[in-house]
Amino acid sequence: MKIGELAALVGVSTRTIRHYHHQGLLPEPERRANGYREYLLRDAVILARVRRLAELGLSLDEVRDVLADDQGKDLREVLRELDDDLARQQLSIQKRRERLAALLAETDLDADSAVSPAMASVLRTLPAGGSTFADFDREMLALVDTTAGPGEREAFAAMLRPLTEPEAVARGHAIYARMDDLADAAPDDPRVAALAREVAGHLPAEMKAMMLAATANGHDQWLDEMPLHLSPAQAKVFDLLMDILQEER
């Protein structure tokens, strides 16, 4: 039979058959005088076998291997690996669907897709007006929010809740202003230490605990990544803050 007939018989495209020839999965058959490939039933059998394995999810390379040491010895091994692989895929899809469901539930309430709704509501009430450092802080919070896992986001936003109360907002506003003032200050400026203490008094206990845990945990980077936008004095505030937190513990 001709290639189109074989293709129709087994249910693949002629391109697929030629591809398999090229990959050595299906031997090239005899040619007719006109150059057409002349297939026999055997070829259909082989092709059908290849398709069966390929449709199970084996790569063409794996199919070739399996067909090569035809003993069925290696076959079971490969199939088991494949099954493990599929099991993993199932799990990962399951997790993705769960995250999706959470995301869908969220966006039903709040259309802001940039950050989680929990964080969005926090950001709405945090001080923002014109402070360079406030902008920096907001971006940092947004970043943490987007990189966190689904459950972590709510926990993180909950941690920030105390900072959204009117008193705390006013106090935060002042802190941002004092941070801005340190933009060009020297690291040993007396305002640095004072501000660190102020911040230590301002932050919720849970947040301090998390910051300590994060630095202890090898996630030391979260501070070291940012100094690009912090002046030396501002960076020093963070250093001192961390020292204070360690002592408090």
Partner DNA sequence: GCTTGACCTTGACGCAACGTCAACGTTTGT
Partner DNA sequence: ACAAACGTTGACGTTGCGTCAAGGTCAAGC
Q: Give the interface with DNA as residue ranges (CB under 7 A).
A: 2-5, 13-16, 18-19, 32-37, 54, 59-61
Establish if 93 lies at the interface with its own copies (CB under 8 A).
yes
Comparison of 35 and 129: residue with beta carbon closer to DNA: 35
What span, in angstroms and rounded, lies between the C-alpha atoms of 116 and 145? 7
CB of 68 vs DNA, minimal distance in Å: 15
Among 30, 34, 72, 190, interactor with its own copies by CB under 8 A: 72
Find the shortest distance in angstroms from Cβ 124 to its own copies.
16
In whole angstroms, how close is the CB of 94 to its own copies at the nearest point?
A: 7
Identified binder of its own copies from the candidate list 104, 166, 190, 218, rule CB under 8 A: 104
b/e 214-239 (16+ beta carbons within 10 angstroms → b): ebeeeeeeebeebeeebbebbbbbbe
Among its own copies, DNA, none, the one that 200 touches (CB under a kind-dependent 5 to 8 A) is: none
Give yes or no for residue 143 binding its own copies (CB under 8 A): yes
Q: Which stretch binds its own copies (CB under 8 A): 190-198, 202-210, 223-231, 234-242?
A: 223-231
Given its own copies, DNA, none, residue 9, with its beta carbon under 5 to 8 Å by kind, binds: its own copies
Rounded Cα gap, residues 113 and 27, in angstroms: 54
Residues 122-141 binding its own copies (CB under 8 A) are 136, 139-140
Span of 14-22, 189-197, 222-230, 238-246 interacting with its own copies by CB under 8 A: 222-230
Mapping DSSP onto H, E and C, the string for the chain reads CCHHHHHHHHCCCHHHHHHHHHCCCCCCCEECCCCCEECCHHHHHHHHHHHHHHHCCCCHHHHHHHHHCCCCHHHHHHHHHHHHHHHHHHHHHHHHHHHHHHHHHHHHHCCCCCCCHHHHHHHHHCCCCCCHHHHHHHHHHHHHHHHCCHHHHHHHHHHHHHHHCHHHHHHHHHHHHHHHHHHHCCCCCHHHHHHHHHHHHHCCHHHHHHHHHHHHCCCCHHHHCCHHHCCHHHHHHHHHHHHHHHHHC
- Residue number, 3 or 240, with CB nearest to DNA: 3
Do 141 and 160 contact (CB within 8 A), yes or no? yes
Minimum CB distance to its own copies, residue 42 (Å):
6
Residues forming contacts to its own copies in the complex (CB under 8 A) are 1, 5, 8-11, 40-42, 44-45, 48-49, 52, 55-57, 66, 70-73, 75-76, 79-80, 82-83, 86-87, 89-90, 93-94, 96-97, 99-101, 103-104, 107-108, 111-114, 136, 139-140, 142-143, 146-147, 221, 225-226, 228-229
